[in-house]
Structure formats: C-alpha cells, structure tokens
Chains A and B, each alone.
Chain A
Amino acid sequence: MFVAFAGAVAMQAKLNIVATTSDLGAVAREVGGDEVKVTVLARPTEDPHFVDAKPSFLVQMSRADLLIEGGAELESAWLGPLVDGSRNPKIQKGAPGHFAANVDVRILEVPSVLDRSQGDIHAGGNPHYLTDPANAQIVARNLAAKFCALDPRACEKFKRNAAAFNARLETKLKEWEQALAPFKGEHVVAYHNSWPYFAKKFGLEIDIFLEPKPGIPPSPAHLAGVIEVMKKEKVRAIFCEPFLNHKTAEKVAEETGATVLEVSQFPGAFKGVKADYISLMDYIVSSLAKALGKQ
C-alpha cells in the first residue's frame, strides 16, 4: 500500500524547471506540458540584461532540476551569483541540469574584435535569437531531448509536444511570411539591437538604432542623425521594448511620422496578448504589418 502510494507520488513528480527569461519559459511549457513546472526569473517587461535578485529566485533555483538560460551571455550580468547562491549542484555550469538553449542555433553578429568602446557587445554574438521562430523550433527539439534525459518516463510526451508545437509554428510561419512579404527590404528602426534574427527571417532591414552603441543611451546628436536617415528612407516603424525610454522613441516618431511599436521577445509582456510564444509573435507581426501598411 505504501509502495503503491510512493509509486503514485513518484509518477506524478513534475520536473522543476527554472528559465531565465519568459521566451525560454514559454517554449519549455510547450514542450513539457503538465509534466513540468516552469518558473521564470526575469519579468517579461524587465530588461533581461539586468535583473534584480530576489530571495525567491534562490529558493526556486535550489529546488530546480533544470536551469534553462539563453547561453549567449544575455544573462551574464546577473545569473552567475544566483547559480552559486542556489547551492544546487544539479544546475551548476556543466552539470546536466544546466541547459544553454543556443545549442544548434546559428548566432549572428559574433564580433571579431571585442572592445568596450563598441558598447555593451556580447562576446558570443547577438543573444536575442528567439525572435526568429525557426530558432524556437530548434530550441523546442533540443529541450525535448533534454527533458527526455531528465525524465525518461515522459519522453514520448515531450517528443509529441515538441513536434506539435513545431508543426503549429511551421503553419504560422507561412502566415507571418505572407503578412510581411509586401515590405521586404524595408527599414525598421529599433531602440536596441535585439531584432536581427527577426529581420533576417522576414527580409526586413532592422539596422538603424536609437542607441548609438548597444547599451549606450541615445544622445541628441545621434538622434538627429537617425531622424535624417529615417526621413530619407521613409522609415515608418520604431521598435521599442517596454523597459526602454518611450519618450525618446515618441519624440523621434513625431519628427518623422513613424509609429512607435511596443514590442518584446518575452511572452507575457503585453496585457492583452496571451503569454505564449505564438501569440506574441502573432501580435508583433500583425502590429508591424499594420504600421508598415499605413501610407
């Protein structure tokens, strides 16, 4: 009787997963379904480069079976001390419970020269790779394999979930490509350089930034230059994340007739938008298409 009870409890034990950002968390939820419990450290509206440590993080991480991080140094300013402080051997770097999600992902903008004068350059390249849905498919597949390794009993489920998610994504991808096809080659301005993967996927040029260099706040001189380029190229949209200075983006939009689009790569960032990967990408693609479609 006790054995049966213990067995029942063991069978229902979910994998405790901690993800650094909510895009990773969203994909983990898709793959894990109800076999996993996912906690996300960074709030979706928070700047992922700098997250304030809270006591609950340490608690969650101490109980985690798996830590999922971007792997491309997005969290390098804050994750290390948390991993140390968690005193959880399972999730230390190199342990099976520490997963860097950029495995098999082709990383863009890897710098040949690493130097502070270029701003806050990530040594491993641009870390915002989940803005390309194709990369989400890669992450989903690899997460399924990782979950399988940690919980072989539910392996079939994980594989099925990942396949289903990827299939849905494939369908949606075609929709999105169609919606943005009319605007191929057009320029979009972004406050921070976090959209190159999205740009590459959908044939847009998101290479004008309000930040003169990554992480450096916009200076008046630089903004004047951006406004000039925007007028010349007739740029109609400015991407701005919730944690960045909207006043600056609005000012530039005023001068150029462009629209400021609130965007985020983190599901859950917007109240009216469901907190899953596909809903978020849907929202971004449709707002962008609408803004670019305006005359």
Chain B
Amino acid sequence: MFDIIQFMLWPLAACLLLPPILVYLGLHIIRREIIFVDLALAQVAALGTCVAILLEQHAGWHGYAWSLGFTLVGAALFTLTRTKHSEVPQEALIGIVYVVAAAFGILLLNRSAEGSEELKRTLVGDVLLVNQTSVLRTFVIYVGIGAIHFLLRRKFIRLSFHPHEAAAEGMNVRLWDFIFYCLFGVVVTSFVQIGGVLLTFSYLIVPAVCATFLAKRLVVRLILGWIVATASSVFALYLSYRLDLPTGAAVVCVLGAALLLVTIGARLRGRNATLPSP
C-alpha cells in the first residue's frame, strides 16, 4: 500500500488536482456543441511543441511558449469560425484544423531524429514520470484561471449556455469568445505537456458527458463530473500500478468504462438523458 503511494504520488496529484478545471470547461464545450475544439486545440498545442523541437528550442519554458503561441492562434481561429453560416458547421472547420495540425506535425518531425517518439509522447503523455514542479506550477496556473472564470462566471456561462441572449444584451460575443478560448487554450496546453492529447480530451469531455447524463443543473453536473474524474483517476492509477500498464492510456480507458457504466445506469433509471435544449 505504501509502495503505490510512494511511486504514484505525483501522477496521482496530477490526476486529482488538475482535472477539475478541465471538467468545468468540458461542460462549456459540450454546451457549445463543438466537442472537437479541445482535440483540435490539444493537437495545435502539440504542433507548437513539434515546431519547438525542430527549431531546437524545446527545453524549459521555450517549448511551452511555442506550444502556447500556437494554441492562441488556434483560439483566434476558432473564435472567428463560430459563424452563423448554417451551411458549414463550425465542427467541420475544427475537425479540419485537428487533422491538418496532426499531419503537419508529422511532416515537421520527419526531419527530426526522435520525431515519431515525440509525436507518440504528445499523444500519450508522460503522466507516470510527471514531477512535483510541473504539477504544482500547472495547479497554480489553473487556480488563477479558475479564479478568473469564477469572477466572470456570469459572463462566461451566458456566453456558452445562452449565446443569443448574450448577443441580444449587447455583449461583445466575439471578444468574450476569444477570451474564453485563450484561457481554455492555456489550460489545454498545460495539460497536454503532462498528459498528452488523448488524456486531455478524455478529462475534458468524459466526466462532463457523464454528468450531463445524470443531472440538469450546472452546479450538480460540476460536482458529479468531479466525482467521476476523481474516482476514475484513482482506480486507473491503481490498475496501472497493479497490472503494470501505461498510466495515461489506463486513465483514458477507465474514463471510457465510467461513461459506459453511467449510460447503463441512466438507462436503467429510465431517465431520458438529453443535452440541454438550445
């Protein structure tokens, strides 16, 4: 028992301290019905890392800066593509950004020696070996962003959950969208550095989807989402240790299993679980 805490302490800390904000943002994302924006942003962040590797500026905060820079450009892109065009759904554009970012990363790293390894690492992450500094630094960033979201919660919730009313009230939707995506981008970039694209996406979406199946009020969904994320993380890390599995992938799979359990549970209860009506 002691053994597992000793080795999995910082991975556990990472998976307990950092996902809560991802869950919260996930609820926004689901409401906005642009699920793939986080996959796309995570991939764009990874592309930034690829560029940094190619330019040999990967070390220390330089790599992070490149990643973040790319993410902010991505954020701007997504702000501009939240169009009113009913012909071209924003999701299509987001999907394209994801695929092109991924392919471009492959192109760039084809010239670099550990290219394919680095690509795999951006996908799968390095949770097992995460160190104290990364976890605490990221936690501090997240607390900051969480504070901003809390202080400006009325604006952001209106923006995501009632965009038409927001526009009607004269709120500068474009501007606030951009701020939302920027903050979102920082959160995603930071977590991709630790957990990789797959894990970031999973923490963002899966607990939020589970919560959406189980409850209607935002606050209740938030709490349920946190419970799902925490329970899944603990169980996955335990499994990873016992069965000697790659940690990041284990968490993604357990989150998937959690969703399965929740959907079965929701079915059995006969609840007609739907996404909130527009």
Chain A residues with a Cβ under 8 A of chain B: 49-50, 52-56, 58-59, 62, 77, 81-82, 84-85, 87, 116, 119-120, 213-217
* B129 contact from A59, A82, A215, Cβ within 8 A: A82
Which 4 A-B pairs give the minimum distances between C-beta atoms? A120-B113, A215-B113, A81-B129, A50-B117
| Residues from 86 to 121 in B contacting A, C-beta threshold 8 Å | 110-117
Beyond A54-B128, A120-B113, 5 extra complex contacts between A and B, CB < 8 Å: A55-B8, A59-B7, A77-B114, A116-B112, A119-B113
* B246 contact from A54, A62, A77, A215, Cβ within 8 A: A54
Partner-contacting stretch, out of B176-184, B189-197, B212-220, B237-245: B237-245
State whether A217 and B114 are in contact (beta carbons under 8 Å apart), knowing that A53-B129, A85-B129 are contacts in the complex. Answer: no
Contact check, A216 vs B3: say whether CB atoms are below 8 A apart: no
Nearest Cβ distance between residue A191 and chain B, in whole angstroms?
14
| In the bound complex, CA of A77 to CA of B129 (Å) | 13
**Residue B56 interfacial (CB < 8 Å):** yes
* B7 contact from A55, A81, A116, A119, Cβ within 8 A: A55
Nearest B residue to A58 via CB reads: B7
Contact check, A55 vs B117: say whether CB atoms are below 8 A apart: no
**Residue B230 interfacial (CB < 8 Å):** no
Contact check, A215 vs B247: say whether CB atoms are below 8 A apart: no
Contact check, B113 vs A55: say whether CB atoms are below 8 A apart: no
State whether A55 and B129 are in contact (beta carbons under 8 Å apart), knowing that A77-B114, A120-B114 are contacts in the complex. Answer: no
**Residue B81 interfacial (CB < 8 Å):** no
Residues of A with C-beta under 8 A to B113: 116, 119-120, 213-216
**Residue B6 interfacial (CB < 8 Å):** yes
Residues of A with C-beta under 8 A to B240: 55
Residues of B with C-beta under 8 A to A216: 110-113, 115
Chain B residues with a Cβ under 8 A of chain A: 3, 6-8, 56, 110-117, 126, 128-129, 131, 240-241, 244-247
* A52 contact from B6, B131, B246, Cβ within 8 A: B246
| In the bound complex, CA of A59 to CA of B3 (Å) | 8
Nearest A residue to B11 via CB reads: A55
Nearest A residue to B127 via CB reads: A53
Total CB contacts across the A-B interface at under 8 A: 55
| In the bound complex, CA of A119 to CA of B112 (Å) | 7
Chain A contact residues: helix, strand, loop or mixed: loop
Residues of A with C-beta under 8 A to B7: 55, 58-59, 62, 85
Residues of A with C-beta under 8 A to B128: 53-55, 58, 85
Most buried by B among A55, A62, A82, A213: A55
Most buried by A among B111, B116, B245, B247: B111
| In the bound complex, CA of A81 to CA of B128 (Å) | 10
| In the bound complex, CA of A53 to CA of B125 (Å) | 11
Contact check, B117 vs A56: say whether CB atoms are below 8 A apart: no
* A55 contact from B110, B111, B247, Cβ within 8 A: B247
Nearest Cβ distance between residue B56 and chain A, in whole angstroms?
6
Nearest A residue to B242 via CB reads: A55
Nearest Cβ distance between residue B5 and chain A, in whole angstroms?
12
| In the bound complex, CA of A50 to CA of B121 (Å) | 10
Residues of A with C-beta under 8 A to B244: 54-56
Residues of A with C-beta under 8 A to B3: 59
* A77 contact from B56, B111, B112, B117, Cβ within 8 A: B117
Nearest Cβ distance between residue B257 and chain A, in whole angstroms?
19
| In the bound complex, CA of A188 to CA of B246 (Å) | 38
Most buried by A among B110, B115, B129, B241: B129
State whether A87 and B6 are in contact (beta carbons under 8 Å apart), knowing that A49-B114, A120-B114 are contacts in the complex. Answer: yes
| In the bound complex, CA of A55 to CA of B129 (Å) | 9
Nearest Cβ distance between residue A242 and chain B, in whole angstroms?
16
Contact check, A50 vs B114: say whether CB atoms are below 8 A apart: yes
Nearest Cβ distance between residue B108 and chain A, in whole angstroms?
13
Residues of A with C-beta under 8 A to B110: 216-217
Residues of B with C-beta under 8 A to A59: 3, 7
Pull 19 A–B residue pairs with CB atoms less than 8 Å apart, ordered by A: A50-B114, A50-B117, A52-B246, A53-B128, A54-B128, A55-B240, A55-B244, A55-B245, A55-B247, A77-B117, A85-B128, A87-B6, A119-B113, A120-B114, A213-B113, A215-B114, A216-B115, A217-B110, A217-B116
